[in-house]
Structure formats: structure tokens, C-alpha cells
Chains A and B, each alone.
Chain A
Amino acid sequence: QKEVEQNSGPLSVPEGAIASLNCTYSDRGSQSFFWYRQYSGKSPELIMFIYSNGDKEDGRFTAQLNKASQYVSLLIRDSQPSDSATYLCAVRGTGTASKLTFGTGTRLQVTL
């Protein structure tokens, strides 16, 4: 079964620190990778996507992809209390092109 795994957390980081969220996937042929942020009671919001090995930066967010090791990570620099949310990793694999496989999410808590 194709899986996407995340540590459920909570991951607690102090304000201003770097939060590092990790995700591993089992389908070696996976094509593209997405990070969604979900506040409690709200819908997922797309933060970043990446499809090439290496780093992709957007403001305070950096997505990192290592296809050889089958992991993707999201770094949040200068973490703010407003970053406290659940972060969902989603992977588009080799099966049905439209289908995303979601991880169970990591809950991030940014403390004052």
C-alpha cells in the first residue's frame, strides 16, 4: 500500500525558531509533493509544492525534496504563533494522476 508518513506531533518550537516538518513516502515513483496548512476547523491551504530534488524557498517557507531517500520536508523560519496549525504532506504517486495521498499531518505549536 502506498503510504505517506508524518510524525503526528505536537511539534513545539519557540517563537522565532526554525520549525522542521518531515514526511516520508513509500511510492518511489512519486512525481510531486505538496504541503498544506490546516488550522483547526478550517480547510487545508496550499503552502508549497515541489517536484525536483533540492530546495524550494518561498518567503519563510522552504520545501526540501530527496527522492533517493524518499522524504520531503518543510522548514518554517522565524516561526510565529500564527504558524500553529496541522501541516499535511500530500504526494502524487505513480497511480491515478489526479489522486493525492495525504499523510496524517503534524501538529505544530509555536510558543511565546
Chain B
Amino acid sequence: DTEVTQTPKHLVMGMTNKKSLKCEQHMGHRAMYWYKQKAKKPPELMFVYSYEKLSINESVPSRFSPECPNSSLLNLHLHALQPEDSALYLCASSQDLGRGQIYEQYFGPGTRLTVT
């Protein structure tokens, strides 16, 4: 079972709203990721969590705030977003971070975010 789930599927929010994206995996994976993907572009890494601790922040603006409540859950809190933040937000997980090992990443279905 290589399933990663994300909610909601679609989200429309105004620039003053606060919302959260949720991701869940039940594969026992210890690394979880947030990516942002714009149309016709590859996924762009935002954050990496390993064993529930933030491992990588790719200089993401503070209006995006990640949270990893436990090893199965990953949230992305959104506040004061801009229209250019509209994109497909993808969650992924892998067994571990891959140091010296091949740990493939599995993506969830994504949340299509529109900021108005």
C-alpha cells in the first residue's frame, strides 16, 4: 500500500484568510515532504520532515507554516497568501531520508489551491 492522502482536494481562499492543508500516510514512513507545483513546471521542494522534526526549509516565506503532529500527519498552515501562491500543493513521503539508501518518494493526490 503506497497511499498518501491529502485534504482538501481543492481550496479557494482570499488573501486575508487562514487555512490548512492536511496530509496523511499509513506506510510507516519517517520522512514527509511538501512540494509546490505550478502549471507545466516540475515540483518544487518546500519542506522536509524527518522523524517529526523539520529537516529542510527551502527558504519558504513565513506565510507558509508546516507542522508535523505525529509520524503519520503533516500539515501546511497558510496565512496571508498572495495570488502567485496559487498552485498544486503536493505532499510526499518516503521510508527515510535516503542517506546511502534508495528511499523513493510517493506523492499524494495534491491540493489545488487558488488564492483570490
Which A residues have a C-beta under 8 Å from some C-beta of B? 31-32, 34, 36, 42-46, 49, 51, 88, 92, 96-100, 102-105
Contacts and interface: CB of A to CB of B under 8 A. Distances in A.
Chain B interface residue number, banded: 20 to 34
Given A97-B97, A104-B41, A32 B107 contact: no
Given A43-B110, A44-B107, A98 B88 contact: no
A24 B54 CA distance: 31
Interface stretch (B13-21, B42-50, B61-69, B70-78): B42-50
Contacts, number: 55
Contacts of A43: 88, 90, 107-110
A49 B98 contact: no
Contact of B45 (A31, A36, A99): A99
Nearest to A6: B42
B93 to A, nearest CB: 11
Nearest to A96: B56
B60 to A, nearest CB: 14
B98 A97 contact: yes
A29 to B, nearest CB: 13
11 contacts: A32-B102, A43-B108, A44-B107, A46-B2, A46-B104, A46-B106, A97-B99, A98-B98, A99-B45, A99-B48, A105-B42
A84 to B, nearest CB: 16
Interface of B: 2, 31, 33, 41-43, 45, 48, 50, 55-56, 88, 90, 94, 97-100, 102, 104-110
Contacts of A45: 107
B56 A98 contact: yes
Given A98-B50, A99-B45, A92 B98 contact: yes
Contacts of A46: 2, 104-107
Contacts of A32: 98, 102
A105 to B, nearest CB: 6
B100 to A, nearest CB: 8
